[in-house]
Amino acid sequence: MKGYKFVSSQYAEALGQGSVRITPAHVFRPSDGLDGGRADPMELIASARPKGGVFTIRSDHPALPEDMFVYIKGGRRVHFEIEMYGAQMNLIDNALLYCFSSKIDDSMCLQMRMTFGADALFEISDVESFGIILSNHPTLAGRTFFSGPVVYIDRDPATTIEELKPVSRFEKGKAFSWQQEHRFVWDGEPFGEAIQIDVPEAASLFKRLA
C-alpha cells in the first residue's frame, strides 16, 4: 500500500532524509473554529451526556479503562456502581499518532495548502515497511502499534451512558473525510508535544511529488 504525506515545504528536506514528526493526540484537539479545519476536538475521545444531569455507571463498563476504578474487598477485586454528576463525561486516550492520506487528488492538494500550509507532498512507497521502521525506533519500541484507515462518523456525544462506546483510534468527524486519512497509532503515555525522530533507513521509501 502507498501513502501520501503533506508537509510544509520548510520541513520537506528533513522528511526526505527520514526525519519524522510523531504527534500526541491531544495536540490535534484544540478547536480552531473552522468547519473541518485544522483541529478535531473529539480526537480519541468518547463522550456521554447524562439525562437529568446525573447517571450511574458500573466500574466494569466496557468503555472504561480496566484500571480506572479499582476496589478491593476481602482480597478480591469487586465491581460497583458509580454515580456521576455533570453535563458530560469524557474518556480520553492520549496515544501517539502519525497521519497521512491513502489517496490524493487536485482538490485535496489545494485544501491541504489552504488549511495547513502543506505545500509539499511525498509518496510513501510501502506503508507497512514504514510503520515497522518507525516502531523499531528506540523512542517508540515497546509500545503497542496499530495501523489502519480512519472511518468518518457523526461525532455528537451520546445521550445516555448506555450508548457510551470505548475510545476508537480510527474514528473521526465526517467534516474531516476529505483528508482520506490512514494513521499509525502507538499506545502508551504520550510526550507533552510532538517529537522528531530520525529514521534515515526510511528515506528510500519517500518520493517527493510536489
Residue 32: predicted pLDDT: 65
Residues 58 and 160 in one domain: no
Which of the four pLDDT bands, split at 50, 70 and 90, describes residue 191?
confident
Q: What is the pLDDT of residues 18-74, one digit of tens each?
A: 999 999 998 888 866 665 567 888 888 888 776 667 778 888 888 787 777 888 888
Which of the four pLDDT bands, split at 50, 70 and 90, describes residue 190?
confident
Residues 28 and 102 in one domain: yes
Residues 37 and 119 in one domain: yes
Handedness of CA 194, 100, 199, 11 (dihedral sign): negative
Residues 109 and 137 in one domain: yes
Among the listed residues 2, 4, 1, the one whose alpha carbon sits nearest the alpha carbon of residue 122: 4
pLDDT at 120 over 90: yes
Residues 122 and 144 in one domain: yes
Q: Looking at residue 41, what DSSP letter applies?
A: T
Residues 123 and 55 in one domain: no
Residues 110 and 156 in one domain: yes
- What is the extent of the structural domain holding 131? 3-45+92-208
Residue 201: predicted pLDDT: 97
Residues 123 and 105 in one domain: yes
Provide the 10 A C-beta neighbour count for residue 187: 14
**How much is the average pLDDT of 107-126?**
95
Boundary-marking domain end, from 87, 112, 137:
87
Boundary-marking domain end, from 36, 70, 87:
87
Residues 74 and 170 in one domain: no
User: What Rg value do the Cα atoms of the chain yield, rounded?
Assistant: 20
Report the C-alpha gap between 81 and 83 in whole angstroms. 7
Residue 117: predicted pLDDT: 92
pLDDT at 152 over 80: yes
pLDDT at 159 over 70: no
**Residue 39: what are its φ and ψ, rounded to 5°?**
-125, 145
Range of lowest pLDDT (4-13, 90-99, 135-144, 193-202): 90-99
Residues 204 and 134 in one domain: yes
Helix (H, G, I), strand (E, B) or coil at 137: coil
pLDDT at 170 over 90: yes
Boundary-marking domain end, from 67, 87, 107:
87
The mean predicted confidence, pLDDT, of the chain is 88
pLDDT at 13 over 60: yes
The number of domains in the chain is 2
Q: Which residue has the cell 462506546?
A: 165
Among the listed residues 90, 191, 202, the one whose alpha carbon sits nearest the alpha carbon of residue 140: 191
